Amino acid sequence: MLFNSYGFIFLFLPVVLVGFFQLARVSHAFAAGWLSAASLFFYGYWNLSYVGLLLASVVFNYAFGMWIAKAGVKQDASRQKRLLLVALASNLLLLAYYKYANFFLGSINSVADSHLSLGEIILPLGISFFTFTQIAFLVDTYQGKVKEYNFIHYTLFVTYFPHLIAGPILHHKEMMPQFGHTSTYRFNYENMAVGLTIFFIGLFKKVILADGIAAYVGPVFSAPAAGIHLTFIEAWVGALSYTLQLYFDFSGYSDMAIGLSRMFGVILPLNFHSPYKAANIIEFWRRWHMTLSRFLRDYLYIPLGGNRKGMPRRYVNLMATMLLGGLWHGAGWTFVLWGGLHGLYLVTNNGWRALRRKLGFDPDRPLSRPMHALSMLLTFLAVVAAWVVFRADNLDTAVAVLKAMAGMNGFVLPYAWLFRWGAVGQWLSAHGIAFGANNFLIPLTGGAYYWIPALLLIVWLAPNTQQMLAAYKPALNMLQDSKPKWQQWRPSHAWLTAGVLCAVYATISITKISEFIYFQF
Amino acid sequence: MTSRQFVIRFALGYFLLLALIGIFNRIVDPAWYYRDTEIKGFNAVKPTFLDFARDVKPVLLMRDQPEAIILGSSYAEIGFDPTNPSFNDHDRLKSMNFAFAKALWSEVQCDFEFAVTHSNIKRALVGFHPGNLPISNCEKDFATIGQLNTIDILLTYSALWYSIETIKHQQASSASHTREGMFFYNRDRNPFPFFQEDLRTRISECQKDLNSSVSSTASSTANALDLSGLQRMIRTAQAHGVELVLFAYPKHAYLLELDKLCGGQDAQWQTMRRIAEFIDSESRGQVRAWQFYGYNDITAKPVSKRRGYWQDAKHFNFEVGNMMLEDMFDRTRDRPALARPLDSGYEDFLREREEYLQSHPEFGANMQTMYDIK
């Protein structure tokens, strides 16, 4: 079931909300059980056969968590370690089978010219998310950080439908206590007002903005495979369109998840904080998919040694973390390369900071406005280039699009612009700028010339959802970032009118099944 | 404003606005699905039905239960008015144009099967292009035909946009279809450029055909025709007691002339003859099949810039369609005005051509000068 569907908005959500708060009057356990059951229904609506897998994963990890904890109480460290290793290996094997088995076999086949195959394996939705969530639980249990072992709360923490399929990646220590609070089970109008607002902002981002620009992505990225040489403009239109589609799709999903959860009185962690406003790549990763960054830092980068073992080792750890982070997104070399690119960016960024420090400059000193804008632009361009690799079906396509973006196929402008630009067009033409017929893409990408600047303005100049609702603590781990009062949401007639209009516009724009991009990860 | 007031007003405003949009779309009815509120100057003319036809026509068929239907592609959808008295037996049969623009033979076949299984069809007129008429798997089509989601026509932004367009374009000439499903297409536009495009396309195809000596290919195609789809259609019609009438889509004489110049026309006639023989043997003479190729005042009428018999070299207007329907269904006629049996001889056609060109010496000059064909 999709958040952006009539069935979810008009049926599932109201029924689950009413059921939750009515049952909460009788028993909090019933209400939590109801929410777990509804979450399993939500998951099973996609593919009933994988509900068993999800439940088995929950029971298995909960049981191992309990055994690890008991071994800890008995101070049996070796048993504790053995149990942890078995549990971790089982989780990773499950993920490896469903997500990576065919990728690895395919890679072996291409190297060894063999024909190994496991047949078609359907990737269970959200497997990367619920596996990572539970790995964190197991590791924290081992380290003695887990305080609560209520099975219903644990099941709800893993299966909770707002985050189940595409995150945020929750941490038990920020979720399970909330399921224990009495206030969570009491209907609260403020939660509902904030939740509704955030949910519909997210729906608007997904349905109007992300789906609106999505049409300009596919033709560009499928052109190289069809033997079409992209022009400079076409390649940039495709790359920027995808950059913006992914941004609004994922931040839209994250907003909807946060909004939905808030309606139930549960606050989710922040997952997005205007990542394209980042002035360097380190900052980008503190703003993009923040819960994944946190997971990779806490459960991969730091256990690998983090920055505690000298600079070279730190850079190796960074590269390893980002390569695995790339692989987490999907079983394909393009994802690995994307992770590698970001690893390289991070190493360069950290190296630059170290060099500045060595030369006596403070790398944390705020930049001047022009320098900040320049840094932001540079970071953005690096991110765009990496998204091309991320989106491309294969490395050949990625190289073809990047080459065109670099102007290696020429700087031909669409012929229609020669006339549209009047004297300017004539002047450019006279000075050697080529205008050529562009029959393949221009009819498709015409609208992109308006969409891209408009969406870039929103990305760079508009406040984000959390900033707008900062006064109501919309998410955990909020970053302090004050905005002018007129940009701050409050229950008022102006915000009500804007909210209703946006909500209605987004709702009537749900015309087709449009999955979130992050569902595939 | 308190949070409580905000939530209540938000919910009220949201549902009220959605309800208003739904009611507005329901009244304007741009998809012409409900058909119960038609106010002149407001929504009586449906300029956007074209975009809904594929989804709405099957639902209308199930609801209205027509007995006489026309099937095919845009040629049939544009060319035939199903209220023609000869076709609907002077209103004794409830009739509908169930043809769809751009429909391929595979879709026409599935549309036919859908129609006979969802309505009490007694008569069906089906258009086709002479050539292979293979069987198609209709399972996929049946999964979607007639599945109209009312939310799509009431509660979507596009429905709202179509409603506004409907209100904005209430001139009679803006209508896209008649109530019974006939499509107007470019009826009120100057046919000149459309003719020009068709003829130029044919010349370009012709050059390719000549290079690949299509004549022999077409001839061999005639011997190896796949008519399994036609067979199924005939058997389905017989099983459901449907009077099935088939016809090959006509062309303007300018296009026939180009066909002849390009070669392969004789093979086309052989194909039609093979199809006719097949129909005859398969239906034991129960299914009639016609073609309308010829040189006469209708098919060879010079093109003017005003509305005439043809919208382009292939799409005929319903005035021509009416004559065709009368030829095919008016049993009181001694001899048809335009129609020939599908198995008629190529020599007769050539003789008619010779006679026409002799009596109309301006034909060739018109063709060359009007369409810039050198």
Rounded CA gap, A269 and A258, in Å? 8
> In this complex, do A189 and B17 lie within 8 Å of one another by their Cβ atoms?
no
Nearest-CB residue to A189 (from B4, B18, B21):
B4
Q: What is the mean pLDDT of residues A468-483?
A: 83
pLDDT at B217 over 70: no
Q: Does A510 touch chain B (CB under 8 A)?
A: yes
User: H or E segment at B117?
Assistant: helix B105-118
- Best of B5, B157, B162 to disrupt the A interface by mutation (most A CBs within 10 Å)? B157
pLDDT at A196 over 60: yes
Catalytic residue status for A329: yes
Q: Check: CB of residue A423 under 8 Å from CB of residue A260.
A: no
> In this complex, do B6 and A510 lie within 8 Å of one another by their Cβ atoms?
no
Q: Which residue of B has its CA nearest to A5?
A: B151
pLDDT at A385 over 90: yes
Exposure string over A56-71, b if 16+ CB within 10 A, otherwise e: ebbeebbebbebbbeb
Q: Which ipTM was obtained for this model?
A: 0.86
Q: Check: CB of residue B308 under 8 Å from CB of residue B372.
A: no
B-side interface with A, Cβ within 8 Å? Answer: 1-7, 9-10, 13-14, 17-18, 21, 151-152, 155-160
pLDDT at A125 over 90: no
Residue B4 distance to chain A (closest CA, Å): 5
Q: What is the pLDDT of residue B216?
A: 47
Q: Does A393 touch chain B (CB under 8 A)?
A: no
Q: Which residue of B has its CA nearest to A7?
A: B151
pLDDT at A302 over 80: yes
* Chain A residues near residue B17 by CB distance under 8 angstroms: 500-501, 504
Rg (CA), chain B: 24
Query: What's the whole-number average pLDDT of chain A?
Result: 88
How is A121-187 classified by DSSP, letter by letter? -PPPTTHHHHHHHHHHHHHHHHTT------HHHHHHHHH-HHHHTT-----HHHHHHHHH-GGGGS-
Q: Does A512 touch chain B (CB under 8 A)?
A: no
> In this complex, do B9 and A508 lie within 8 Å of one another by their Cβ atoms?
no
Strand ranges of the sheet holding B288-291, from the earlier edge strand across to the other edge: B95-97, B68-71, B123-128, B243-248, B288-291, B340-341
pTM score, whole prediction: 0.84
> In this complex, do B7 and A189 lie within 8 Å of one another by their Cβ atoms?
yes
Contacts A–B by Cβ distance under 8 A: 60
pLDDT at A443 over 60: no
Q: Which of A454, A280, A288, A461 is nearest to A387 (CA)?
A: A288
pLDDT at A502 over 90: yes
What total number of domains does chain B contain?
A: 1
> In this complex, do A189 and B14 lie within 8 Å of one another by their Cβ atoms?
no
Q: Which of A322, A313, A266 is nearest to A289 (CA)?
A: A322
3-state secondary structure of B173: helix
Q: What is the pLDDT of residue A519?
A: 63
| A81-116 pLDDT, tens digit each | 999 999 999 999 998 888 888 878 888 888 887 877
Q: What is the pLDDT of residue B212?
A: 65
Q: Which residue of B has its CA nearest to A504?
A: B14
Rounded CA gap, A154 and A55, in Å? 11
Q: Which residue of A has its CA nearest to B7?
A: A193
Exposure string over A453-466, b if 16+ CB within 10 A, otherwise e: eebeeebeeebbbb
Q: What is the pLDDT of residue A65?
A: 93
SS3 for A12-59, per residue? HHHHHHHHHHHHHHHCHHHHHHHHHHHHHHHHHCCCCHHHHHHHHHHH
Residue B18 distance to chain A (closest CA, Å): 7
| B32-61 pLDDT, tens digit each | 999 999 999 999 999 999 999 999 999 999
Q: What is the pLDDT of residue B371?
A: 59
* Chain A residues near residue B4 by CB distance under 8 angstroms: 189
List residues bridging with A124 in a β-sheet: none
Which amino acid, one-letter code, is at A319?
M
List residues bridging with A476 in a β-sheet: A269
Tokens of A174: 């920020």
Q: What is the mean pLDDT of residues A459-471?
A: 92
Q: What is the pLDDT of residue A521?
A: 60
Nearest-CB residue to A508 (from B3, B6, B160):
B160
Q: CB atoms < 10 A from the CB of B327, how many?
A: 19
| A133-188 pLDDT, tens digit each | 899 899 999 988 887 888 989 999 899 999 887 778 888 888 888 988 899 999 99
> In this complex, do B21 and A492 lie within 8 Å of one another by their Cβ atoms?
no
pLDDT at A264 over 80: yes
Q: Does A507 touch chain B (CB under 8 A)?
A: yes
> In this complex, do B1 and A493 lie within 8 Å of one another by their Cβ atoms?
yes
> Percent of chain A having pLDDT more than 70?
96
Q: Check: CB of residue A57 under 8 Å from CB of residue A131.
A: yes
> In this complex, do A193 and B18 lie within 8 Å of one another by their Cβ atoms?
no
User: Which pLDDT band holds residue B202 (cuts at 50, 70, 90)?
Assistant: confident
Quote the domain boundaries for residue B9. 3-371
Kindly tell me the number of DSSP H helices and DSSP E strands found in chain A.
Answer: 26, 2
| B224-273 pLDDT, tens digit each | 889 999 999 999 999 999 999 999 999 999 999 888 888 878 888 999 99
Residue A14 distance to chain B (closest CA, Å): 12
> In this complex, do B14 and A504 lie within 8 Å of one another by their Cβ atoms?
yes
* Chain A residues near residue B9 by CB distance under 8 angstroms: 496
What single DSSP character describes residue B126?
Answer: E
Q: Check: CB of residue A269 under 8 Å from CB of residue A291.
A: yes
Query: Exactly one of A171, A289, A329, A342 is catalytic; which is it?
Result: A329
Residue B83 distance to chain A (closest CA, Å): 35
| B298-323 pLDDT, tens digit each | 999 888 777 789 999 899 999 999 99
pLDDT at A234 over 70: yes
A43-57, B61-75, B121-135, B238-252: least confidently modelled range: A43-57
Nearest-CB residue to A500 (from B5, B17, B159):
B17
